[in-house]
Each structure stands twice: as structure tokens, then as C-alpha cells.
Chain A
């Protein structure tokens, strides 16, 4: 189980880094091509836009892993330990349910796009581009659920297992 999680984290990280790098290179190339040769490849701009979605959702998965989602967080600053614990369990469970719902319904949506053979751009089918939505929300649901259980058993954590080798000082978004 632990092993699967570690591998999953590695794959997520690798895909994220790969997309960001290709985005920087493609966006750079696109500008060069348009200014120097008067026209770029037609598929680059729509691909870049889809990459934003993928980066955003993979980044959101990362933020779920290290509990850095934007939240108001009054209780953990002002409330006592018991209240804090209850709030953690309930809010994490709530997030898990909402993510599961979005994951489920977007899964249905992607299935439809697959059946209707929607096209995103060039000849790329739309469902492949959309797959990240059910995938990321499904995985976020699982993560929030696990965190909720662990908050119930061990009490709330402010920071999860520090996401390995942070060179950037972790600043919490209040």
C-alpha cells in the first residue's frame, strides 16, 4: 500500500515536471515561430491551454498531499484541540465527498465525450484531454478521506509528512 503511494507520488511529480517543461518550451517556440516565420503550428495554442488545466489539477493534487489548499482556517488558530480535531475530521470528510461527486459526474461526462467521439483539437479526441478531471478529483477524494480518518485516529496534523526535500520555505496559505 505504502509502495503504491510512493510510486503514485513519483509518477504525479514526473508528469507535472514534464508538462511544465514542455509548456515553457512549446510556448517559447510558438512565439519564436510566429515572429520569425510569420506563423506557428496550429495545434500548439490549444495544447498549451489544456496543459494549464492539467498543471492546475496535478498541482491541486500536490496541494492535497501536503495540505496546502486555500482555506480560512479560523478554528485551528483560535480553537482548542478537541474542537480542532472535530473540525478537521468533518471538513476533510466533506472535501472527500465533494471531490468524489465531481469525480463521479465528470467520469460520466468523459464517457459521453468518448462515445460521441468529440474532438478537442487537430485530431486529438477530447476525452483524453478531459480524463484528468475524474482522475484528479477521484484521487483527491481518496486523499481527503484518508486524511480525515487519520485526523479522527491521530488528531489533526497541520502539515502532512513534509513533502520530502523542500528547498522553498513552506509558507502556509492562511
Chain B
């Protein structure tokens, strides 16, 4: 019986049952066995209303969707083009930088490919890049800003880690700092590859144009303060994440609807609804996993798993290697939000036993998951891109392959060089 139910639940998950139902079922099965009244589910779900930082999730998501629907993506591409376009491989670097910034602000939900991809793929094509390169680049960039504040996966990791009452506290501000250098490493690696790819292209006569730069600045005048206020505010310690989210949502709403009027009052409820679908899906999984986490910790699951692993793996080096392989496979199957709420409660206590810093674990976990977004066969962004650009998924498998190996190399660096993540924190 003890193995039957978990096996059944796993089968249901693989068969496409909503993950929240699977997680809830496993928690309820656990509580039922230990004779805890199932009303505890309501107590656990209500805990969503007791974590101040969660306010950031609906607010940032809404702001991101609203920006995605406005003309902000066009302006973002224009201004990055004006400032970075003159470099070798400039346009590709523009694409990478714009996508990273946009992903960080929209919470890595595939919105980037939909909103920016449509602008970038034709532009890259016109500049003479190969089609496979363009598709690969845009699909890969869809998850590129994941490690930069204020991305939702970073916030969610912090929320979960704070539930674990570790000896080393995990603050979300520290996570935001820790993500900067690893995120820049990924961005740089892909930029170098892009510059190298463009070596055969006819030398572009795209020079830095002061007039166009100034015009682009004026065009984006309303958006430019946003990253400075949000990132400066968070990194400078002026306000908390939830406050930054409140300011962002308020500001973006005022600019797009009242000042620029790019979204009408009739479109607004539709954008709100669409963004809240994603929020609902994430928060529901979080809510039920609070229950399953609680049960697992009470039942000593992490300790049991740790003892099993300890019997075979004695050093941190091997553990990290196995973890990377495991996370890559996990990333193919699970989206990043479910992966965080399901796996972190188990992995984090074990990793700490192997001497891995909780903040470093968060960064390497997310870096791995970022790869998972476009790892064949089921990475989510592959399907979004296939849908968006009307190309067979097989084409996208091939197109993303070189990018996959480049990012895999950076993931290994991030995994085995804790200092890169922890340098800014300490």
C-alpha cells in the first residue's frame, strides 16, 4: 500500500492531471495516514494570505502582461538597438539584452517569446542571420532573465526557502544580488556566440547614431525610469519586493492606460484576467505544496532521502554533478514554478548537509531550470515558440541545440563556482 498510492499519483501526474491536484492528494494521503484531520488543508491554503511577499506575484505578473500588450516591447527593441546595434553581432545582442530585461520583469512565463519574438525574428532575418540561429536565439532568450530581479521564480524560491527554517536565512534581497553575476555570465556567453556567428555577415554600416539614440530615449521616456526605480529601490534597500511590485503595477497601469492610452478600458479586464490565470495556477500549486511540505518535513522525508544518498555519495562534488543531471531531467518535465515548490523542500535540506549555501543552491537550481525551458522533448518554450512562429517542434530542437550547450557550460560554471553567486551577497 505504501508504494501503491505514490506510484498511482506519479502515473496520474504523467498522464496530465493538474499538478496541484497531485500535490494536494499526496499531502492529504500523508495526513490521512497519520490521522491528522483533513481540515488542515484549509489552514495550509490560508497561509497564502499570511505571507506579505506574495503580494508581489499578482502585481508583477499583471504589470508584465500589461507591458507585453502595450507598445513597450517595440520601444524596448528600438532603444537597445540604438545603443547596442553598432556592435559586431549587435542585433543579436540587442535581442538577448531586451529579452533578458523583459523576462525579468514579466516573470518568465513565456510572455517574452510571444511579445518580443515577433519583433526580433524578422529583424534578425533581415540582417542576414540564419533562420535556425534566429529561432534558437529567441527561444533561448525566453528564459534568459530568470536570474535577474524581480523575476518570479527567484521570489518563489525565497518564499519556499523561508518556510524551511534553516540556520542560514535566505532573504529575497540576497537572492536578487546573487543572481546578477551568474545572469551576466549567461548573457555574455550568448553574446560572444552571437558576435562569432555574425562574422560572415556583410559588414553592417550600422553606426552609433546620436540623433536616433536621443529620439529612442524620448520615445521610451515613460518606461526608462521603471528599471531604475525598481532595481535601484530593491538593490539599494529603499523598499521591499512587494512595495516595488506595488509601485510597478501602479505606474505601468497609469502609463499604459491613462497617459499613453495603448490599452483601452475595455481591453484592461481581459489583460487582467489573462494575467490572473497564470497567478492562479502558480499560487494554487504553492498553496497545496505548503501542505505537502509541512507533511514531508514532519514525516522526515528529507532526512530519509539524505541517508539514502549519503550511503552512495560522500562528497559535495559528486552530489552536485548528480543534482545537475537530475535537475536537467526534471526541467524537461516540470515547469519552473512546480519544480521549485515540489523539489526545493526535499533538495534544500540535503544540499545544506553537503555544505552548499542555500542562496547558491537557489541560483544553480534556477539556472538548471532555465535550461529545462528549452530542453527537448517537452521544454515549454519550445512549444510556445513552435506555436508562435509556426514551425515544427523538431526545427526548434535543432535550432536551440548550440545555445543549449553554451548555457550548459555556464550552468556548470555556476554550479561549481559558488563564489560567483555569493560574491555580491557577502
By a beta-carbon cutoff of 8 Å, the part of chain A in contact with chain B is 13, 16-17, 20-21, 23-25, 27-28, 30-31, 45, 48-50, 52-53, 55-63, 66, 68-77, 87-88, 90-92, 94-95, 98-99, 101-102, 105-106, 108-110, 112, 129-130, 133-134, 163-169, 171-174
Partner of A106, one of B45, B111, B272, B286: B45
Beyond A24-B246, A63-B281, A106-B39, list 4 extra A-B contacts (CB 8 Å): A16-B273, A71-B18, A102-B24, A173-B335
Contacts of B270 in A (CB 8 A): 164-168
Taken together as a complex, chains A and B put the C-alpha atoms of A106 and B110 apart, in Å, by 34
Taken together as a complex, chains A and B put the C-alpha atoms of A87 and B297 apart, in Å, by 32
Taken together as a complex, chains A and B put the C-alpha atoms of A88 and B279 apart, in Å, by 24
Residue total for B at the interface (Cβ-Cβ under 8 A): 82
Partner of A27, one of B59, B285, B287: B59
Of all chain A residues, the one with the shortest Cβ separation from B24 is A98
Contacts of B13 in A (CB 8 A): 71-72
Taken together as a complex, chains A and B put the C-alpha atoms of A98 and B387 apart, in Å, by 32
Taken together as a complex, chains A and B put the C-alpha atoms of A58 and B50 apart, in Å, by 18
Assuming the contacts A52-B283, A167-B270, A168-B270, asked whether A66 and B17 have C-beta atoms less than 8 A apart, the reply is no
Residue among B18, B269, B335 with most chain A CB within 10 A: B18
Partner of A60, one of B17, B19, B274, B283: B283
Taken together as a complex, chains A and B put the C-alpha atoms of A169 and B55 apart, in Å, by 25
Assuming the contacts A69-B18, A168-B68, asked whether A20 and B384 have C-beta atoms less than 8 A apart, the reply is no
Residue among A48, A56, A58 with most chain B CB within 10 A: A56
Main secondary structure of the interface of B (DSSP, over half): helix
Of all chain A residues, the one with the shortest Cβ separation from B47 is A53
B54 at the interface (CB under 8 A from A): yes
Taken together as a complex, chains A and B put the C-alpha atoms of A49 and B276 apart, in Å, by 16
Contacts of B277 in A (CB 8 A): 59, 62-63, 66, 68
Of all chain B residues, the one with the shortest Cβ separation from A67 is B18
* B52 contacts A49, C-beta separation under 8 Å: yes
Taken together as a complex, chains A and B put the C-alpha atoms of A73 and B14 apart, in Å, by 6
Instruction: Give the tally of cross-chain contacts (CB within 8 A).
Output: 241
Interface residues of B in 391-413 (CB under 8 A from A): none
Of all chain B residues, the one with the shortest Cβ separation from A52 is B54
* A27 contacts B283, C-beta separation under 8 Å: no
Taken together as a complex, chains A and B put the C-alpha atoms of A174 and B372 apart, in Å, by 12
Partner of B17, one of A17, A71, A165, A172: A71
B355 at the interface (CB under 8 A from A): no
Of all chain A residues, the one with the shortest Cβ separation from B287 is A56
Contacts of B46 in A (CB 8 A): 53, 130, 133
Contacts of A108 in B (CB 8 A): 39
- 10 A-B pairs within 8 Å (CB atoms) are namely A53-B46, A55-B58, A70-B281, A92-B17, A94-B12, A98-B25, A101-B28, A102-B28, A109-B39, A171-B110
